Amino acid sequence: MAAFLESPPLFNCNHLLFSSSTRKTFVTITPCSASSSVPTPPSPKNSAGESTDPNSQKPFRDRRKIVRLAWEKLVRWSRSWRSRSRTDVLQSTNKVVVLGGGSFGTAMAAHVANRKADLEVHMLLRDPLVCQSINDNHFNCKYFPEHKLPDNVIASTDPKTALLGADYCLHAVPVQSSSSFLKGIAEFVDPGLPFISLSKGLELNTLRMMSQIIPRALENSRQPFVALSGPSFALELMNKLPTAMVVASKDKKLANAAQQLLASSHLRISTSSDVTGVEIAGALKNVLAIAAGIVEGMNLGNNSMAALVAQGCSEIRWLATKMGAKPATIMGLSGTGDIMLTCFVNLSRNRTVGLRLGSGEKLDDILCSMNQVAEGVSTAGAVIALAQKYNVKMPVLTAVARIIDNELTPKKAVLELMRLPQVEEV
């Protein structure tokens, strides 16, 4: 109040406000709260020490009511959405072919086969021993010797048999081998067969992503394409643990169809039209995971790890946006989500390579001892060329490439990175 009062209450001098905007001085006086000057009697309590004053419990009850109503609203929305969602894609799908018999290809084959009992899931493999193991015993003896595959998973080394009549194709061949593999089976691929790519990386010499590799190798620029990516370890998918991924396609109807085909009670599938963002994030996160493993192997501590991964995320975002990707994609499941999983969890093949490099092992020895492909090793070689092409500075990812090329030791790389100019964060 800015007026005289005949019986003024207690006043708090800290609330005197002076205005210097005019020659006059105004004083605003705010009454003190009772708690600051006049003690209030304690609330009555029961024998357990809990307050029995109904007014003291009101804010808590109101807050609980708001939370409950918010959750009920979410559940109602979910039920309404599910009731409208179409499932005719799965119902009309009779055969799915999976190219490649690695860990993730096998896990996805099992997942799709479990979606529908009479769905034929054919795995096209190059290893006859693995093929026989799947057909005779329902186990992938090389990657999942303890996980039984559904009976409707069939393995074959014959591309014509595997591809004939397929409604969808899951491509799980490593990126560096994809072109030659696809050229060898191109004559058996239907021009309208949708390809859902599970492979992540960049072709070393051409810098192409899978969305470019597949149509070029099949000599069909209109081959339907979907990229599947997100934080997903094959073992956890095989064990039916809750997982969330993204399918990206320029064809919205195709993305929705892939979503319906793959989504289940333990696998959430979101859709996106940003194919470039999903693919480039999925490729470069493998290189960043090697860097994270190096930090772990050198015992550089948690501060270093957090700083390195944050810097790497920024570098991926800089490049991806220059290539036309949406920043929101890099912050989503296929970007930050996949980066966190690959950089911080020991199941990551790329992180394991980095950890062993940071511990002093030679790259050739590391790769010879692994039975799975660490895509980041090959992709790192494409990073420098890609950064130069789009005029983007990528110090962390470039350092990984130089370490892999044996041009820089991990210790020297750390020293060089720490000596970079102190600049404004972008």
Active site residues: 285
Residues contacting residue 131 through CB under 8 Å, at least 6 positions apart: 101, 123, 125, 155, 156, 157
3-state secondary structure of 364: helix
Measured CA to CA, the distance from residue 107 to residue 140 in angstroms comes to 10
Measured CA to CA, the distance from residue 121 to residue 114 in angstroms comes to 10
Measured CA to CA, the distance from residue 123 to residue 134 in angstroms comes to 9
133: Cα within 13 Å, side-chain hemisphere: 19
Measured CA to CA, the distance from residue 350 to residue 406 in angstroms comes to 17
Cα-Cα-Cα-Cα dihedral of 67, 69, 71, 77, to 10°?
A: -150
Please, which residues bridge with residue 121 across strands? 96, 153
Q: Are the C-beta atoms of residues 11 and 31 closer than 8 Å to each other? A: yes
For residue 1, count other CB atoms closer than 10 A to its CB: 12
**Which strands form 153-156's sheet, in the order they lie side by side?**
153-156, 120-124, 95-99, 168-171, 195-197, 225-229, 243-248, 267-272
Residue 394 DSSP one-character state: -
The DSSP H or E segment spanning 210 is: helix 210-217
Measured CA to CA, the distance from residue 339 to residue 143 in angstroms comes to 23
Q: What is the 3-state secondary structure (H, E, C) of 289-352?
A: HHHHHHHHHCCCCHHHHHHHHHHHHHHHHHHHHHCCCCHHHHCCHHHHHHHHHHHHCCCCHHHH
Residues contacting residue 84 through CB under 8 Å, at least 6 positions apart: none
Residue 258: which of 170, 173, 188 has the closest Cα?
170
